[in-house]
Structure 1
Amino acid sequence: MLSKIIYSTAVLLATAAVILLALFSPLPHRNNHKNPQLSLSFYIQHPQVGGSTLSATHSAAPPDAGALIFHRILTEGPDISSRAIGKAHGFIIPVESFAHSAFNIIYLTFHSHEYSGSISVQARNLGHKEREELAVVGGTGSFAFARGLAVFVQTNRGIDNLDAAYHIKLHLEFPNRSQTIPG
């Protein structure tokens, strides 16, 4: 008889504990947070060699050239003497049949204390305007899986627009990195 009372009391206490835990436990964490975001601002400059602007890779290209390949310097500020934080490389085929090609990509590579990695910007639909909005389609390192918008604003005009400098504003969004990839 005593064992039945102890057993019944234990079952009653366990049932009460489950009900109390269900009523007063905090709600499970829901992942309603937006993806992490990052905004960056920097400048693309013509590299300088020996006090003159380097124009080796593209300024001699004729208007009907098959491809435009360029190498530029990324700086923190608008002046060429600002701290270099990386490089910009690109391969753009301006021929009309390739104007919307996936090959038209600008790679922004960062080497600074804050960031290390690269960002890929799709250079489709370039209209040679003073302000271009292009899609960020991926990244590596600090920018792994980045997506977003890259706004290019021309800050000065060089000879035939070939030596122009650009102010770049990146608005990046990253996927939820708390999820693990099965493997």
Structure 2
Amino acid sequence: MLPRVIFCIAVSLAVIAVALLALFSPLPHTKPAKDSRPRLALSLYIQQPKIGGSNLHSVAPSDAGALVFHRTLTEGPENTSRVVGKAQGFIIPIEHFAHSAFNIIYLTFNSHKHSGSLSIQAKELANKEKKELMVVGGTGSFAFARGLAVFAQTDMQGSSHSDATYHVKLHLKFPNRSQTIPG
């Protein structure tokens, strides 16, 4: 009988100890969960290719037509900067096509750091100093990218709108994945 009483007391003390530890133990030090998706920021320039002739084509008069373009993508603002890819697009600026799914700018990269492309939705193209457009997808190094593309015309003296160089800042997010995004 005495061993049974000692066993019951020991079990009761163990249960009380576990309950007290659960009630008074410190909480783990955790930080609030942040957006843990990999991010990448790039700063590039879109400008006329080094070859002669204009690669900016208006299919119809500028107030009613489509804008089709093919430009080079460089690391720096000078037209002699290292070419890292190309920028191509087809934009219909007519009011009832302004929000069309066809208005896309494609940035294609072919460099030692990045290989692939980004699709940028060109819906809001009002004549502003800066244009903030949405990145809606990508391939290769930019697979499933989402984010923001900020376009700003550089201050080039004497250049027309069609010959302008544009500074592009890309702020990209990627879905959670095990590999690290370079950048």
Q: With the length of structure 1 as denominator, give the TM-score of the two structures.
A: 0.73
AA at the equivalent of 2:101: A
What does the per-residue CA deviation read over 1:122-161, in whole Å, with 9 as the maximum and x for residues that have no partner? 0001012221000111111111111110000101376541
Three-state SS of the structure 1 residue aligned to 2:163 is coil
> What is the aligned-residue RMSD (CA, Å)?
3.3
In the other structure, the counterpart of 2:129 is 130
CA contact (8 A) 1:157 1:164 kept: no
The separation in 2 between residues aligned to 1:153 and 1:122, in whole angstroms, is 16
In the other structure, the counterpart of 2:139 is 140
AA at the equivalent of 1:170: L
Say if 1:157 and 1:71 are closer, same or farther in 2 by CA, change over 3 A: farther
The separation in 2 between residues aligned to 1:138 and 1:120, in whole angstroms, is 5
In the other structure, the counterpart of 1:162 is 162
Question: CA offset at residue 173 of structure 1?
Answer: 0.7
Identity between Structure 1 and Structure 2 (%):
61
Specify every segment of 5 or more residues in structure 2 that has no aligned partner in the other structure, as ranges: 1-27, 179-183
Question: CA offset at residue 62 of structure 1?
Answer: 4.7
Question: CA offset at residue 33 of structure 1?
Answer: 4.8
In the other structure, the counterpart of 2:61 is 63
In the other structure, the counterpart of 2:151 is 152
Which of residues 21, 38, 41 in structure 2 aligns to 1:39?
41
AA at the equivalent of 2:61: P
Say if 1:74 and 1:34 are closer, same or farther in 2 by CA, change over 3 A: same
CA contact (8 A) 1:122 1:137 kept: yes
In the other structure, the counterpart of 2:171 is 171
Specify every segment of 5 or more residues in structure 1 that has no aligned partner in the other structure, as ranges: 1-26
CA contact (8 A) 2:57 2:69 kept: no
CA contact (8 A) 1:46 1:72 kept: yes
Q: With the length of structure 2 as denominator, give the TM-score of the two structures.
A: 0.73
Three-state SS of the structure 1 residue aligned to 2:124 is coil
In the other structure, the counterpart of 1:15 is none
In the other structure, the counterpart of 1:88 is 87
